[in-house]
Amino acid sequence: MLTARVQRGELPPLEQRLPPEPMVVEPTDEVGQYGGTWHRMMKGSSDFHAYSRCVYEQILRWRATPEGGTEVSPGLVRQWEYTNGDKTLILHLRRGMKWSDGHPFSADDILFWWHKIAGDKNLHPNVPSFWQPNGVDMEMAKIDSHSVSLTFDKPYPLALQYLAFKGNQWPLVFERAGFFAPKHYLERYLPDGSAHPAPPDSVSYAVFEQMANDFNPDRPVMSAWRVVDWDPGNHLIAERNPYYWKVDPAGNQLPYLDRIEMEIFLNPEMINFRAVSGRLQMQQRHFNLEDEDLLREFDVERNYRIIEYDSPSMRALMMNLQYPDDAALRQLFQDKWFRIAMSLAIDRKLIDRLCYRGRGVQGRMQPHRSSPDYVEVEGLPDYLAFDPARANALLDSIGLNQRAADGFRLGRDGQTVSLIIEMYNVKGPDMDAVEIVRTNWEKVGIKTSLKLEERTLYFQRISQNGEHMIGVIGLESSFPILGPARWFAVTLWDEWAHHWAKWLLSDGRRGIEPPPQVKRLQQIYRSLGVTVDVQERQQLWREVIRAHAENMWVIPLVSQGKELGILRNDFGNVPLRAIASWIAMTPGYLNPETFYLRQ
């Protein structure tokens, strides 16, 4: 594909496009073949991760371990070291790398993001919190054209994990996350009097956003493929980056595949149709366990197999412990024996059997086995067992022993206890699981209804005022510190502790002061961010796991266990064992640049 462009004089020869020491990527199975298009599907611009996970290119990156977990490994940065008592992290970039337009990539592209983007209030209201450990902005300095230093207020080991998670090219569409941007391309569009401005009518923050956007075909990238055509109602097409800086062990420039073509679909059944027709080569996004029978019916005829990746995500229920609309309910939610009773009333084995085909895992609030922070804790109370008799006894003992004529329990105020489980983006097996919870709770006399909400409204009601009653959320347990930290009562997205988090974030000026146990969780969260010693980190996690097991602030349901995907038999170098994680950007951490079509 690129040889013809070299012959026409449109590109320099390969030796001038590769860096002196390109990154060598070991394919899962074998050296691949060039050519072909990777056909995938996405739901539109809001589903950008369907594409972005295929072009996962970070400052550092996650790498699969032989044990099935993940670890931080080199990426755009080839080497790093901590100095200054682990408070300064020095990053050494690979020399000679180029953007997809042939312009050199350097430390200036990182400093441009930090000073001109992350530090500009017109683009970012605040510096991303993960670069403010202890609430203090990190200091970034240029050492030379290929080295930068990051200095923190305290030792900050989590910086490496954040560089593998958030170290992508800014902005990742609506997520507004990243660590570098093409200074040579974007600087002229900033209204700050730069030395090489674009035409005056194209210098504005609005234009800058358009030029920086991941869907812009003209924007240079460092990834294996670059967008060449974006039609929001139809497709996204990406082609190989001629200056990509990775090779296989035989010295062949990657990627093997010429293109990625993402078809946009609206009808959920369309993705199943494309799968059983044999068009999709590799995709594990947007399939449900309930699709399995249909997919298996055509697998031999259409030359594909079903892959099952471990899913570290788990649905959980969070009662709003500061629910504002009903003092009696708020008092109930804050009673741990009420929460424990409601957990004991849930038949998780039934949920697993009917919703997840027996592949689920009855998980506690603890890191997944693939997590760098996984630890075992002995002697925890078993409040996840299905024990309706004990649930009924507990409800009686806390003053809910009177019932109305319809059989539902009366609260301490003499009114029927009536709960609403609120949710967004809950469908398929997960929706069935929540329906089983509703039935279980009504069997022990607690009237319960379900309420589906639009995503934006749901989060607005939580993050602004904490108005919801009981939230249903998905927990990512491979990297519990990196994702929304719903374990610790430290963010306004905490459905169970919004006002306690607000108290912390405002230094006590707003919100509600939490009880000592929750204050301790908040302290642990901050400690985990700056604790280097492995044994000390494990001890902190044991304390977190025990506190959640004993208090049931968050009521876990069942981890799905497996996430289905399609893999065509002529599509090579795709691991059959992996985790399905949005933080590891599956399949990004599996090196899609080495995937290939057998000719």
pLDDT in tens, 552-596: 999 999 876 788 999 999 999 999 999 998 889 999 999 999 999
The reported pLDDT for the residue numbered 425 is 76
- At 28-80, the pLDDT tens digits run 999 999 999 999 999 888 889 999 999 999 999 999 888 777 889 999 999 99
Mean pLDDT of 309-321: 89
Tokens of 575: 């691991």
CA 333 to chain centre: 29
**At 360, is the pLDDT very low, low, confident or very high (cuts 50, 70, 90)?**
confident
The reported pLDDT for the residue numbered 200 is 67
Question: How many angstroms separate the CA atoms of 151 and 145, rounded?
Answer: 18
Cα–Cα distance list, 189 to 199, 211, 216, 365 (Å): 9, 8, 14, 46
> What percent of the chain has a predicted confidence (pLDDT) above 70?
98
Is 194 a residue whose pLDDT tops 70? no
Q: Tell me, what amino acid is at 239?
A: E
Tokens of 212: 């920086």
The reported pLDDT for the residue numbered 327 is 93
Tokens of 134: 């202890």
Question: How many angstroms separate the CA atoms of 562 and 310, rounded?
Answer: 5
Mean pLDDT of 294-301: 94
Mean pLDDT of the chain: 92
DSSP state, residue 138? -
Tokens of 313: 């995500």
- At 137-173, the pLDDT tens digits run 999 999 999 999 999 998 998 899 999 999 999 999 8
The reported pLDDT for the residue numbered 366 is 87
**At 484, is the pLDDT very low, low, confident or very high (cuts 50, 70, 90)?**
low
The reported pLDDT for the residue numbered 202 is 73
Instruction: Encode burial over 520-530: b for 16+ CB neighbours within 10 A, e otherwise.
Output: ebbebbbebbb
- At 68-97, the pLDDT tens digits run 778 899 999 999 999 999 899 999 999 999
- At 518-554, the pLDDT tens digits run 999 999 988 888 887 889 999 999 999 999 999 999 9
> What percent of the chain has a predicted confidence (pLDDT) above 90?
70
- At 102-132, the pLDDT tens digits run 999 999 999 999 999 999 999 988 888 889 8
> What are all long-range contacts of 225-228, with beta carbons under 8 Å and residues at least 24 apart?
225/54, 225/55, 225/255, 225/257, 225/259, 225/260, 226/100, 227/51
Local structure of 400: helix, strand or coil: coil
The reported pLDDT for the residue numbered 305 is 96
**At 198, is the pLDDT very low, low, confident or very high (cuts 50, 70, 90)?**
low
Residues 6+ apart with CB under 8 A from 230: 215, 216, 217, 236, 237
Is 195 a residue whose pLDDT tops 60? no
594, 248 Cβ separation under 8 angstroms: yes
199 against 78, higher pLDDT: 78
Mean pLDDT of 344-368: 88
The reported pLDDT for the residue numbered 297 is 95
Cα–Cα distance list, 460 to 174, 454, 455, 467, 475 (Å): 16, 10, 9, 9, 19
The reported pLDDT for the residue numbered 67 is 76
Distance in angstroms between the alpha carbons of the first and the last residue of the chain: 15
Mean pLDDT of 23-30: 97
Question: How many angstroms separate the CA atoms of 464 and 447, rounded?
Answer: 27
Question: How many angstroms separate the CA atoms of 517 and 555, rounded?
Answer: 17
Domains and CATH numbers, the chain: 57-222 (3.90.76.10), 310-560 (3.10.105.10)
The reported pLDDT for the residue numbered 1 is 85
* Paired strand residues for 74: 60
